[in-house]
Amino acid sequence: MIKVGIIGYGYWGPNLVRNFNALDNCKVICVADARAERLSLVAKNYPTIECVTDANDLLNHSQVDAVIIATPVFTHFDLAKKALQNGKHVLLEKPMASTVAEASELIEIAAKKNLLLMVDHTFLYTGAVQKMKSLIDSDAIGTLRYIDSTRINLGLLQPDINVLWDLAPHDLAILLYLNNLKPYSINATGISHTKNGIENIAYLTVNYQENFIAHFNCSWTSPVKLRTFLVGGSDKMLVYNDLEPAEKLRIYDSGFEVKNHDDRLKLMVEYRAGDIHIPQVSLHEALKEMANDFITSILEQKVPRSTSSLGLEVVRILEISQQSLKQGGKEILL
């Protein structure tokens, strides 16, 4: 029975408490939040959970085995470092840290202390992403050619991080999970309508040395909500629409093959536009699977699906994208 403490009871905290509490081999015993009104919600719904306003009380709590950190990104490093130093396993909300340096240091400490450090990239646990992964791994899609993601809506502008740091981690984690190619360089463009230099619209291109490209369109200021993730392969193409209540994934038996590369003006391309297949994908709650993976990985000392090294690569792309944004979209090598 793993005893869990959760720091941060804002938007995501209640979901974490509910899902970790629903597991058999785990118990949430303490929640920390500086805001009294948030703690009173915990007390009302979970009278047996201990509430503390100072996160240090949780980090030093003798009974806590694992700490879940659901606070703003800029606080992640300090909290996680203390937790690891105190011998606690750590689950960090995404993105795991503000810089590559911070993320790397946390990974190092965890390794030294032989503790689990995991990042909550919840989307890796959805039925649709699992289905895409198995299709790609079984070579049903052919050679991957591109990923194109649109994640836009009328969202809450964050005061401290731009729209890429807020929205792109979901899709970057999926990108990194679906294939093993190593990104080569980054371009990012965007705009801030708030005069604080924090972009609310941004476009990110991730270039590869292989014949593959990934592009991410992120916005907090779209009148429509879109969550469209295209995967182009040489044999089949996928469209993952997370807003569809049931038909989240479509497999298009479409593609094209280039037959003649020699003569520029005699380009011969064979097109194929065939049937569409909509597989049933599991509609379980992904957060519950993630919670279970965290606890099971502690108990069985196994590597979780959502590793800290994947989390680090997400932070690396974000960090570089910010440099590119500040240099007019210049290509920056990873």
Which spans of this chain sit near its own copies (rule: CB under 8 A)?
47, 145-146, 148, 150, 152, 154, 156-157, 159-160, 185, 187, 189-191, 193-196, 198, 201, 203, 205, 207, 211-213, 215, 217, 219, 221-224, 230, 232, 237-239, 243, 245, 247, 250, 252, 254, 256, 258, 261, 264-267, 269, 271, 273-280, 328-331
Min dist. Cβ of residue 24 to its own copies (A): 13
In the complex with its own copies, the residue whose CB is nearer, 57 or 244, is 244
Nearest distance from residue 314's CB to its own copies, in Å? Answer: 20
Q: Considering beta carbons, is residue 87 or 274 the nearer one to its own copies?
A: 274
b or e along 257-287 (b: 16 or more beta carbons within 10 Å of the residue's beta carbon)? eeeeeeeeeeeeeeeeeeeeeeeebeeebbb
Q: How far is CA 151 from the centre of its chain?
A: 13
| Dihedral sign of CA atoms 69, 74, 78, 84 in order | positive
- Least Å distance, CB 108 to its own copies, is 31
Q: What distance in Å separates the CA atoms of residue 187 and residue 206, rounded to the nearest whole number?
A: 7
| Radius of gyration of the chain measured on its C-alpha atoms | 21
Nearer to its own copies, 66 or 141 (CB): 141
Q: How far is CA 328 from CA 185, 186, 202, 205, in A?
A: 15, 12, 12, 13
Residue 107 or 231 with smaller CB distance to its own copies:
231
Report the nearest approach of its own copies to the CB of residue 169 (Å): 20
User: Nearest approach, Cβ of 228 to its own copies (angstroms)?
Assistant: 8
Nearer to its own copies, 221 or 309 (CB): 221
Residue placing its CB nearer to its own copies in the complex, 111 or 258: 258
CB of 226 to its own copies, least distance (A): 8
Cβ-based nearer residue to its own copies, 34 or 109: 34
Q: What is the rounded distance in angstroms from the CA atom of residue 43 to the CA atom of residue 49? A: 7
User: By C-alpha distance, which of 207, 4, 282, 246 is closest to 120?
Assistant: 4
Q: Rounded distance, CA 27 to CA 60, Å? A: 17
Could you tell me whether strands 117-120 and 89-93 are parallel, antiparallel, or unpaired per DSSP bridges?
A: parallel
Strand partners, 114: none
Nearest distance from C-beta of residue 268 to its own copies, angstroms: 9
With beta carbons less than 8 A apart as the criterion, state whether 269 and 258 touch.
Answer: yes
Smallest gap, in angstroms, from Cβ of residue 98 to its own copies? 15
CB nearer to its own copies: pick between 5 and 255: 255
* CB neighbourhood size of 174 (10 A): 23
